[in-house]
A and B are shown apart, each in its own frame.
Chain A
Amino acid sequence: IFLCVSPQQEGLDDGPDFLSEEDRGLRAVNVDLQTDATLQVDISDALSERDKVKFTVHTKSTLPNFKQNEFSVVRQHEEFIWLHDSFVENEEYAGYIIPPAPPRPDFDASREKLQKLGEGEGSMTKEEFTKMKQELEAEYLAIFKKTVAMHEVFLCRVAAHPVLRKDLNFHVFLEYNQDLSVRGKNKKEKLEDFFKNVVKSADGVLVAGVKDVDDFFEHEKTFLLEYHNRVKDSSAKSDRMIRSHKSAADDINRIASTLYTLGTQDSTDLCKFFLKVSELFEKTRKIEARVAADEDLKLADLLKYYLRESQAAKDLLYRRGRALVDYENANKALDKARAKNKDVLQAETTQQVCCQKFEKISESAKQELIDFKTRRVAAFRKNLVELAELELKHAKGNLQLLQSCLGVLKGDT
């Protein structure tokens, strides 16, 4: 089944505010960013093909660095990853929280379901098939919109960062209208990455064990280690909860269909009754599906995002920790050199470089971590408020439908 969807596509569901809410919510959902006229980036369009997604990255800028004030390029997921990795590998950015890379677009589950549906076409009625197909297409669209949002958030975070926005690779990413020819990592490189990560976490354990002289960083370290684990747990549990919710909504869908058939077949007064209740469940089921979708957007995605952000913050602490270790080693080396009176100048230079590096990282890291907290609090506030408002809206909608149907049914007797 081939789908070509764009975030602007309307009219897939005649329910109120189905798309507009999502569209509004999608942009920068989990970050509280000031929009800056000097550099505005968004994903204006996206195309889903068999096994890849093509994002149209649209830039508006008054900066002199760019040839035009407004331009667009087409990028794929691997190019986002390349950009992210280039930040991580850049020593100059060691003192910043690198905005987490967007996750790979994953339509496998949805595609599998659509395929199974196609195979099972013979075993269900035409209405059921059409209904399920619409459901799955809506699900596919939702996943698609999410991946667009996550890629966009990454770019917005970079554009909002005072230093990263000036990065040359970022400008190339935004402007160069040819393929960046970023090949996927080959096996050897992937293995190297793996070992690098192993070393990093081993380092991390070492560094985490040393109590920091600076209270601020000591507190941040303790906080982040625990927070990250708890966010991970909450993220997984919220996913499971939302999946059950979706399953229950699917059951109600099936119940509504069967009630409809019963209504058309029944020879007694129950026929009208069943038809009315079937209609009710069709509507409430849509609302339940919306509730699950909104919980997914406002809660699950929020937690997933902060799982990645808190990891990026931890990475920053590890980098600082390594710089501290280097600095301390340089100090020891200098003492040794002075004691032996050999290569003292060299040792002094090395020590100065390490000291500067450590102090530079510490200074920017402090600000980054403070900003992280501000962003986090703002994002949670926004999403929790919106979650509560949406839950209320849907519960009230459900209630109204139920009460009105009950009124009709009771009146009929």
Chain B
Amino acid sequence: MPHFRQNRLCLREYFNMFNEEENRDTFDIQISVSDPEKVGDGMNAYMVYKVLTKTSLSIFSRDEVCVKRRFSDFLGLHSKLASKYMHMGYIVPPAPEKSIVGMTKVKVGKEDLSSVEFVEKRRSALERYLLRTVKHPALLKDPDVLQFLESSELPRAVSTQALSGAGILRMVNKAADAVNKMTIKMNESDAWFEEKQQQFENLDVQLRKLHASVESLVCHRKELSVNTASFAKSAAMLGNSEDHTALSRALSQLAEVEEKIDQLHQDQACADFYLISELLGDYVRLITAVKGVFDQRMKTWAKCQDAQVMLQRKREAEAKLQHANKPDKLQQAKDEIREWEGKVQQGERDFEQISKNIRREVGRFEKDRVKDFRVVIIKYLESLVHTQQQMIKYWEAFLPEAKAIA
């Protein structure tokens, strides 16, 4: 499988570049996910990944820790983080998608190219997930995150259904439904939120479109690579049967050039995928999480509204009881009023807090987004440059051979 081995190197290479950029930051923490290993047999089998953390931060007990984790552990971590922080307006990076088809192939023991690629794709996605998670200043300090990275044994995560990517979407949709059912539509006093929501909506649409086009490009480039290889073989055969010596040689040379070009296309398709396509996929999922926090804010506001309505009702009830002669009930009504006043205040505080958090989170998110896209697109253009430079080399070598046909 010589072609695949080269692919593997290429993937690692591209990923290390992405990793490096991350670490020139203030955070000073390096995480790598590597060495996927199959444990067990048949349908109960699973992959285990090595998670290596290198850091000088004091919150960690050691400056280098290595643990073994499986996919559901990652999902479990995300589930915990989402339940703790999403309702406060923190954008919790989503975990990679589950894939029944992909995993089944691996379980069943198919050592073919597609299942090996699947594992590599997943390994890479898990690494990016952890890197994004620790980049978040609050999440980095979270005990669940520390436990995940450091502790040698981790309790088996259950109900990882809940907050996978699909799970988040379900949650977002439920929140959206709740919003739609609100009798009083939120009067957006803060134009910033309305504007941002619209922007993220537009961004979502365009990124999905872009992602689809890039996936199509990856597919066509792979196809081009295969067809070029096929043509190369055919040209070699043609060269063999050509009875004019110089032309025969030139055709064989052409076949060699095309074979090298097929490898170029393959490597380029790899870059297309691992640089651009996966980045876009990550951001499509991230934006779902962003939309989720906006909806959480709406939910918080709705709760606040409900509390106010309740308070109003309690006040009205108390007012009515003023004229009736039921001192116990009156006292109860007054107590309830106090209770609901408290809830209203809490609701207002929560709403203010989540609004503040979201502003900060969105600011941070946008900064990261700008950096991510800049870094990745530049890396991608550099890969395109490399491809063209190689093309020039190959055709320059061929030209004198073609001219030598006499």
Distance of A395 Cα from B391 Cα, bound (Å) = 7
A243 to B389, CA, bound (A): 23
**Does A77 have its Cβ within 8 Å of any Cβ on chain B?**
no
Q: Mark B363-377, 1 if CB is under 8 A from A, else 0.
A: 000100110011001
Question: Does the CB pair A259–B210 fall under 8 Å?
Answer: yes
Q: Which residues of A contact B330 (CB under 8 A)?
A: none
A-side contacts of B247, CB under 8 Å = 376-377, 380-381
Judge if A388 is at the interface, Cβ distance under 8 Å.
yes
Q: Which residues of B contact A381 (CB under 8 A)?
A: 247, 250, 402-403, 405-406
| Pair A230/B234 contact, Cβ less than 8 Å | yes
Whether A251 touches B213, Cβ cut-off 8 Å, given contacts A230-B237, A238-B231, A384-B405, is yes
Q: Within the complex, what minimum Cβ distance (angstroms) separates A137 from chain B? A: 22
Residue on A nearest B244 in the bound complex, by CB: A377
| Number of A-B contacts defined by CB within 8 Å | 159
Known A245-B224, A265-B203: A251·B217 in contact at CB below 8 Å: yes
**Bound form: Cα–Cα A399–B385 in Å:** 6
CA A398 – CA B246 in complex, angstroms? 31
- Residue of B210, B221, B395 near A395 (CB, 8 A) is B395
Given contacts A402-B381, A405-B381, contact A392 B399 (CB under 8 A): yes
Question: In whole Å, how far is A382's beta carbon from the nearest beta carbon of chain B?
Answer: 9
- CA gap between A380 and B402 in the complex, in Å: 9
Task: Give the number of residues in A that approach B within 8 Å (Cβ atoms).
Answer: 58
**Nearest B-chain residue to A385, judged by Cβ:** B402
Contact B254 A262 (CB under 8 A): no
CB pair B388 A373 closer than 8 Å:
no
B237 proximity list for chain A (CB < 8 A): 230, 233-234
In the bound complex, do residue B231 and residue A241 qualify as a contact, i.e. CB atoms below 8 Å apart? yes
Q: Are A241 and B405 in contact (CB under 8 A)?
A: no
Q: CB-CB < 8 A to B246: which residues of A?
A: 377
Contact between chains at A255 and B210 (CB < 8 Å)? yes
Q: Interface size (B, Cβ < 8 Å)?
A: 56
Q: Which residues of A, 362-413, contact B by the 8 Å Cβ criterion?
A: 373, 376-377, 380-381, 384-385, 387-389, 391-392, 395-396, 398-399, 402-403, 405-406, 409-410, 413
Within the assembled complex, what's the spacing in Å between the Cα atoms of A247 and B247? 31
Give A358 to B378 CA distance when docked, in angstroms.
Answer: 71
Q: Does A395 lie within 8 Å of B392, measured CB to CB?
A: yes
The answer to whether the Cβ of A240 comes within 8 Å of any Cβ in the partner chain is yes
Question: CA of A259 to CA of B231 in the docked complex: distance in angstroms?
Answer: 33
At the interface, yes or no: A237 with Cβ under 8 Å from chain B?
yes
Task: Check if B83 is an interface residue, CB within 8 A of chain A.
Answer: no
A215 in contact (CB, < 8 A) = no
Interface flag for B121 (CB, 8 Å)? no
Q: In the complex the two chains form, what is the Cα distance from A396 to B238 in whole Å?
A: 29
The 8 Å CB contact of A251, one of B220, B227, B241, is B220
Q: Do A270 and B370 touch across chains, with their CB atoms under 8 A apart?
A: yes
Tell me the bound Cα distance from A237 to B224 in angstroms: 11
| A273 touching B373, Cβ below 8 Å | yes
What residues of B have a CB within 8 angstroms of the CB of A388 in the complex? 395, 398-399, 402
A252 at the binding interface (Cβ < 8 Å): yes
9 new A-B contacts at CB < 8 Å, known A223-B241, A240-B231, A387-B402: A230-B234, A244-B220, A244-B227, A248-B217, A248-B221, A258-B209, A284-B384, A385-B402, A396-B388
27 residue pairs from A and B, CB less than 8 Å apart: A230-B241, A238-B231, A244-B220, A244-B221, A248-B221, A248-B224, A254-B213, A254-B216, A258-B213, A261-B206, A265-B199, A265-B202, A267-B366, A270-B374, A376-B244, A377-B247, A381-B402, A385-B403, A388-B399, A391-B391, A392-B392, A399-B388, A399-B389, A403-B385, A405-B381, A406-B378, A410-B378
10 nearest A-B residue pairs (beta carbon) = A244-B224, A251-B217, A384-B402, A381-B405, A237-B231, A241-B227, A399-B388, A395-B391, A247-B220, A388-B399
